[in-house]
A and B are shown apart, each in its own frame.
Chain A
Amino acid sequence: GAGVSQSPSNKVTEKGKDVELRCDPISGHTALYWYRQRLGQGLEFLIYFQGNSAPDKSGLPSDRFSAERTGESVSTLTIQRTQQEDSAVYLCASSLAGVYGYTFGSGTRLTVV
């Protein structure tokens, strides 16, 4: 597609429920990244994919967080047993490997109540 697409744009969930956030990167972009942005804060790195493998998962905050990527395209970030501190905007970005300056999606705003 023309840009990075994320869905849903907004998600409200009850504490303890699982959520799945989806990212469609720019076609042909082999690198894909997930970041978290809490209200009024900067971006925290979560995980990096090169193709379908994730050589860097160092930013995932706990084992409740997982992500996968299939077909060197779509990626899904899953948060299990959501907690209120998980409330944030989750941003996805993609790039051609070795090319700096990713393209970001508009994010999914997650609210855990």
Chain B
Amino acid sequence: GQQLNQSPQSMFIQEGEDVSMNCTSSSIFNTWLWYKQDPGEGPVLLIALYKAGELTSNGRLTAQFGITRKDSFLNISASIPSDVGIYFCAGQLFAPYNTDKLIFGTGTRLQVFP
């Protein structure tokens, strides 16, 4: 199935460091979302972006919807141990029919060391 290109694949950082990850697509999206998945659980929505160029913050998280509608990034500031997990971007396609279907990125695995 179709997936978005997400980088980096994995990150190993020290507690307190900032983190940045991004997602690119060949398709235009009208919505970008970022999810976090803990082991054995389903993904949980972190932040949603609805407009090209939009910059949105949620606590230590900041995400941007690229102006071309084909990319997005997520920053995490001052990382803490509970930030460990897999982060996924997801985009909603413009579709001829309304499915609200999300296409997911390949994921970024984050490990935080104390």
Contacts and interface: CB of A to CB of B under 8 A. Distances in A.
B44 A33 contact: no
Q: How large is the interface on B (under 10, 10 to 19, 20 to 34, 35 or more residues)?
A: 20 to 34
B88 to A, nearest CB: 6
Interface residues of A, number: 28
Interface stretch (A11-19, A69-77, A78-86, A95-103): A95-103
A31 interface: yes
A64 to B, nearest CB: 16
Interface of B: 1-4, 6, 31, 33, 40-45, 48, 50, 88, 90, 92, 97, 99-107
Interface of A: 4, 31, 33, 35-36, 41-45, 48, 50, 55-56, 59, 91, 93, 95, 97-98, 100-107
